[in-house]
Structures are given as C-alpha cells and as structure tokens.
Amino acid sequence: MGDTFDVMIIGGGAAATSAALTLRNRGKTVGVVTNRPETSSLYKAERVTNYPGLPPMSGAEMTELFRRQLEECGARIIQGRALSVMPMGEILGVAVGSDYHMCSALIIAAGITREKLYPGEGEYLGRGVSYCATCDGMLYRGKTVAVVGSGEEARHDGDFLESIGCRVLRFEQNGRYEIRGGMKADTLIFAGEEHKVDGVFIIKDTVSVTRLVPGLQYENGAIVTDRQMATSVPGVFAAGDCTGKPYQLAKAAGEGNVAALSACDYLAKIGKT
Ligand SMILES: Cc1cc2nc3c(=O)[nH]c(=O)nc-3n(C[C@H](O)[C@H](O)[C@H](O)COP(=O)(O)OP(=O)(O)OC[C@H]3O[C@@H](n4cnc5c(N)ncnc54)[C@H](O)[C@@H]3O)c2cc1C
C-alpha cells in the first residue's frame, strides 16, 4: 500500500529539491521518490563553482545540503526506485518497490537515465524478468532465480529471495548479460556461460525515462516539454537533466521551480486546490 499526495516528484537532485521547496511554499503535500544520493550526477562533481548563493563546494557536499532542505521543507522522502507510473484519469499511480502511491500531478526530475537494456530484457519483462523482488519474489518460491546487480539493493533483494525459499544465483559484475527463453525467460547468459533459471531479477538504480510513463513523448532520450515544463501526458511535468541539455545545476533548479508552479496551476484547473 502507499500514500496519497497532491504532487509526487521522482528524483532527489537540484530539480527535485527546487520543485519540492516551491510546492511546499504553496501548501501542497509532496512525496519525493529518490534513490540513494550517491546515484545523482551532482554527487560525482569534484567542485561546483557556478551555483548562485553558495560558496564553491564538492558535489557530495551540495547533495547533502539539498537532502537536508528536502527533509526540512516537509516533503515526504520515499527512499527507493520509481518503477512505473500509471495515469488513471486525474490520478497518477507511482509504483515504488511493492508500494503504490497516488498523486494528482507528477514531476519527473530523474536526471540522466540512459539505460541500455540487455538483449532479451525488454522482451521478457513480466515473463520471467522482473525489476522488483518484493513484488514478484513469491512467484519464484522454490525455484532458481538470477539477481543481476551490484548495489546494496541487489544484495538486499538477493537475501530476501533466499529468505522466501528461492535458489539465488548472484551476478554482481558489470558486463554483457543476455536473457533467452521461449514463452518465458529460462536462460541467463553471462561471460559465455548459460545458466538455467526460472526468473531473472535485474536491479539497476534507474529506470529509463523512456519507459517510466506510458505515452510520454521524448526525443533523443530527453523528455519533450513546453516552456511550462508540461509533458505530453496531462498532469505530468519534467525538470532538470531529464529534459535535455544544458546539463547544469542552475538550469535544473530553474526548471524545477517552473514545473512546480505549473503543477499548482494544473491542480487548480482540475479543482484540487
Ligand atoms: C562530474 C560532474 C561534474 C559536474 N559539475 C557541474 C558544475 O560544476 N556545475 C553545474 O552547474 N553542473 C555540473 N554538473 C551537472 C549537474 O550535476 C547536473 O546538471 C544536475 O545534477 C542535474 O540535476 P537533476 O536534479 O536534473 O538530476 P540529478 O542530480 O541527476 O538527480 C536525479 C536523481 O534522481 C534519481 N532517480 C533517477 N531515476 C529514479 C527513479 N526511477 N526512482 C527514484 N530516483 C530516481 C537519481 O538516482 C538521482 O539521484 C556536473 C555533472 C557531473 C557528472
């Protein structure tokens, strides 16, 4: 089960933080779905010297400042990976792990989410390939599953699958994986070896924006928006690196602010003030 918010935001960087601050100033309830802070682009920056109002500092320090502001503004932080968004009339459902949250408007501020699918991944998604152990693990009780991924979440999901009685093959190395099968996935190929499996859990930090929301228009991997940061899906706005170049903090924060104000206008239009 999940919670209901006026606006949900996917992301936790400059764009998301800026949007959340503005929405909270406007009195909206806000849920921010965000991966671990270390996964953001900003975290990797050695030294940022072009953000107004702040002295030069490392990206990690700035990430920490953003996180603190998010916590203090009263937005609810939902630590995890948004897996999919389901528009249902004037309500949007956001799947995070096995929870399903609801909102009236959504801001995608997910940064750059270039995601290369493994051969067979898209084809067998939902037919032996899953991104969520909590959601689908029970289907594989007593069976053999592969967990592909190297982070904390992958380890945790592998442990969880073992705890419910799956035989777990763990694949933590980067490289070329391939999934094959018939009607359902039944083989994982890695480093020239074939592994017979009943399911493959692929645990990555992000889900490409091109697969997050059905019907979302994008171009060269970037979400298409108008100047109000509205996307092609009613009630869905986007901000920051995920809308395209330039990849800069000030641009991300500015777009987050515009997206938040547009989301407020949208809520008023549909009578959810
Ligand atoms: C090495 C480096 C140095 C840089 N230096 C500078 C600089 O000096 N000045 C400057 O202006 N810019 C700099 N940039 C660019 C700047 O970091 C980005 O433009 C900025 O961080 C974009 O902010 P954002 O909020 O759009 O995305 P991000 O900061 O990338 O935040 C997006 C967040 O959303 C999370 N996320 C994505 N998908 C999901 C999902 N499905 N569920 C939950 N969470 C999700 C990501 O994990 C990430 O934490 C630098 C970038 C790099 C890589």
pLDDT at 114: 65
For residue 247, the ligand 1 atom closest to its alpha carbon is 19
Half-sphere exposure of 211 (CA within 13 A, CB side): 15
Task: Choose one of 18, 41, 49 to mutate for the ligand 1 pocket test, by most ligand atoms within 8 angstroms of C-beta.
Answer: 41
What's the N-to-C CA distance of the chain in angstroms?
A: 25
pLDDT tens digits, the chain, 273 residues: what are they?
Answer: 789 999 999 999 999 999 999 999 999 999 999 988 887 888 888 899 999 999 999 999 999 999 999 999 999 999 988 988 999 989 999 999 878 999 999 999 999 876 678 999 988 988 999 888 887 899 999 999 999 998 888 899 999 999 999 999 999 988 899 999 999 999 999 999 999 999 999 987 777 777 789 899 999 889 999 999 999 999 999 999 999 999 999 999 999 999 999 999 999 999 987
For residue 16, the ligand 1 atom closest to its alpha carbon is 25
Give the residue whose CA is nearest to atom 4 of ligand 1. Answer: 45
SS in 3 state form for 69-130?
HHHHCCCEEEECCEEEEEEECCEEEEEECCEEEEEEEEEECCCCCCCCCCCCHHHHECCCEE
Q: Does 44 sit in the ligand 1 pocket, CB within 6 Å?
A: yes
The one-letter amino acid code at 29 reads: T
Q: Does 50 sit in the ligand 1 pocket, CB within 6 Å?
A: yes
CA 105 – ligand 1 centroid, Å:
22
Task: Choose one of 8, 22, 40 to mutate for the ligand 1 pocket test, by most ligand atoms within 8 angstroms of C-beta.
Answer: 40
Residues 6 or more apart whose CB falls under 8 angstroms from that of 1 comprise 99, 100
Q: Is 141 exposed, middle or buried (0-12, 13-18, 19+ CB in 10 A)?
A: exposed
Residue 255: both structure tokens together: 């777009």
For residue 42, the ligand 1 atom closest to its alpha carbon is 17
CA 29 – ligand 1 centroid, Å:
24
The C-alpha atoms of residue 41 and residue 206 are separated, in whole angstroms, by 12
Residues present in the chain in total: 273
- pTM comes to 0.85
> CB–CB of 10/212 below 8 Å?
yes
Taking the C-alpha atoms of 31, 147, 44 and 38 in order, what is their torsion angle to the nearest 10 degrees? Answer: 40
Q: Does 34 sit in the ligand 1 pocket, CB within 6 Å?
A: yes
Q: Does 256 sit in the ligand 1 pocket, CB within 6 Å?
A: no
In angstroms, the Cα distances linking 93 to 7, 198, 234, 259 are 11, 29, 13, 19
CA 45 – ligand 1 centroid, Å:
9
